[in-house]
Structure 1
């Protein structure tokens, strides 16, 4: 009797099933994203493109004659025209000084407060709320309060405090009117108002660091500074980069406090005006929409370049 011949079994090739395209999921996702996308297009993309186009024309909003194409003339005049370039370059320098001081000081102070308030201490919730309160107040209200604090008369809170502490040896000073202290006053106001927002972001990042890392470091006899450098900073690295970039953008967009202090408190205009203030003056005081658009485009390019440089430097530093 012949024995049956067994044929070897061929392995069955397993093929991964392709996910089926679901039109319903795509439609629902598109509908949910549509309001945000439309908002970005309407309030970001369209105004930005319009600013670029208008910056190439001589647009006088108070005149009925049609706009004339100027090409890059508006940009050239910002740096070469003896009448226009003076105010523009002063605004640029003021903005750079403002950013150079505010970015490290405000970020460092926010990090210090976040570290101090990330401890289990009595009343820590009160202090977290206390330092965050200025962020909730509108900048217009904050500027009005600081106008009273920095009032040039002897009744101003700062002047009366200095006079009391020095026994009248130091006279009242015009903090906002003096070119030496006007920009410093705006910087102080801005740091006071914005540091709480950064503090909350950094505090949330600190609370995500596992406590076991600090316990292991203490077992290895690491001191507080070593724990901060080797555990805290690496643990919040990405958040710290985000906060620094956000502060940079906001530092170059400073306007509200400058406008209010100049218009209502008689602050030194040359010493405090910024690029955004200069742009609004070009359109509202001189009705020159083309030049205002050119200033806005220059401001955007400055922010983009500085942000990219910052991001690259911070990333390289964190990787090394």
Structure 2
């Protein structure tokens, strides 16, 4: 009787313990989705839902402030992007401007961010003041930045850049319309964009630089490696994944180019053909031309193009052993 009683007591205490363990495991499994639910909800509201709405609107002819209801047109909005000569030429030029901007900005801004991060990471006299000047463009409102660069690029002697070039040329330089000339309009916006946003990438690279163990540099010094060899063999491998991440987000930001072009074009004469991007064309088509359905079709195609580029970049990085 005593043995049976003890057996029943052991079983009675073991079963609740197992139930508590199972309940704890299920609670741990639910913790991850529960904590991720706010972020997933935000993505669904601000990313998935607008894309689905744009996809639906792209199959309809929709005009804002029109008494006529939306009319289903199927794939007409998509076919017009490739068959209508004027629309196809404008959309192709906007895509070309986006690709040109990205091909220049991504490598230049990544290399410049790395160089500035290496410089800022050094303990030199006056570095605090230098850091402040580097961070200033990041905290400036973009509207203020556009006004400043509009004054710099102003044509004639009123522009700061023309005045400086005229001063150094001894008066022989007569001035140039940097934003109105098709050959320099996009390049001027590229310079402004790099100046405005390179400090953001620099902060990311600087954080990665400060996480590289100092023991690696000490070991390289014992092996009589100079500063350049330490940079190539210690610094770059240590922050490689961060540089890849910076290049990826810079690529995405480059294809989202809108604010700089829009603000500069609203403040003066800017050559539209050489500076218009897909984002500005979408806004002009949807709101200025009152053709929401066509703008939605452009949005869907542009979203697919960016997704394909991101996937290709990701696959190329993974093949080389990156993140």
Q: Same fold (TM over 0.5)?
A: yes
Once the two structures are superposed, the pairs formed by residues 51-62 of structure 1 within 5 Å of their partners are 51-62=54-65
Normalised to the residue count of structure 2, the TM-score between the two structures is 0.88
Instruction: Determine whether 1:264 maps to 2:267.
Output: yes
Question: What is the number of equivalent residue pairs in this alignment?
Answer: 304
- 2:191 aligned with 1:185: no
Offset at residue 56 of structure 1 (A): 1.8
Q: CA RMSD in A?
A: 2.1
| CA distance, structure 2, for counterparts of residue 318 and residue 162 of structure 1 | 47
1:204 and 2:204 equivalent?
Answer: no
Paired with 2:72 and 2:94, the residues of 1 have a C-alpha distance of 26
**Higher mean C-alpha deviation, range 226-235 or range 61-70:** 61-70
8 Å contact kept, 1:94–1:273: yes
Q: Which moved more, 1:65-74 or 1:145-154?
A: 65-74
Q: 1:143 Cα deviation (Å)?
A: 0.8
Correspondence 1:296 to 2:299:
yes
Bigger helix fraction: 2
User: Which of 299-308 and 267-276 deviates more?
Assistant: 299-308
Q: CA deviation at 1:37?
A: 3.2
Q: Is it true that 1:274 corresponds to 2:294 in the alignment?
A: no
Structure 2 unmatched ranges of 5 or more: 1-17
Unaligned runs of 5+ residues in structure 1 are: 1-16
The one of 229, 234, 237 equivalent to 2:237 is 234
Contact 1:132 1:196 in 2 (8 A): yes
Give 3-state SS (helix, strand or coil) of 2:267's partner. Answer: helix
Counterparts of 2:167 and 2:204, CA distance in 1: 38
1:1-320 maps to which residues of 2 (within 5 A)? 19-22=21-24, 33-318=36-321
TM-score by length of 1: 0.89
Does the CA contact (< 8 Å) of 2:156 and 2:174 recur in 1? Answer: no
Question: Residue by residue, what CA displacement relative to the aligned partner does 1:41-73 show, whole Å, maximum 9, x if unpaired?
Answer: 221111011111111222222432222222222
Offset of residue 247 of structure 1: 0.2
**Cα distance in 2 for residues equivalent to 1:107 and 1:247:** 8
1:241/1:311 contact within 8 Å kept? no
The answer to whether the 8 A contact 2:113-2:205 is kept is: yes
Q: Secondary structure at the match of 1:21?
A: helix
Mapped partners of 2:248, 2:36: distance in 1: 26
Q: Distance in 2 between matches of 1:67 and 1:103?
A: 41
After TM superposition, the structure 1 stretch with the greater mean CA deviation from structure 2, 26-35 or 242-251, is 26-35
State which drifts further: 239-248 or 293-302.
Answer: 293-302
CA distance in 1: counterparts of 2:309 and 2:210, whole angstroms? 30
CA displacement, residues 7-61 of structure 1 (integer Å, 9 cap, x when unaligned)? xxxxxxxxxx794324777788766554433322221111011111111222222
Q: Deviations over 1:108-131 (max 9, x none)?
A: 100111111111212223222221
Deviations 1:255-306 (A, max 9, x none): 0110111121211111100000000000111111111111111221121111
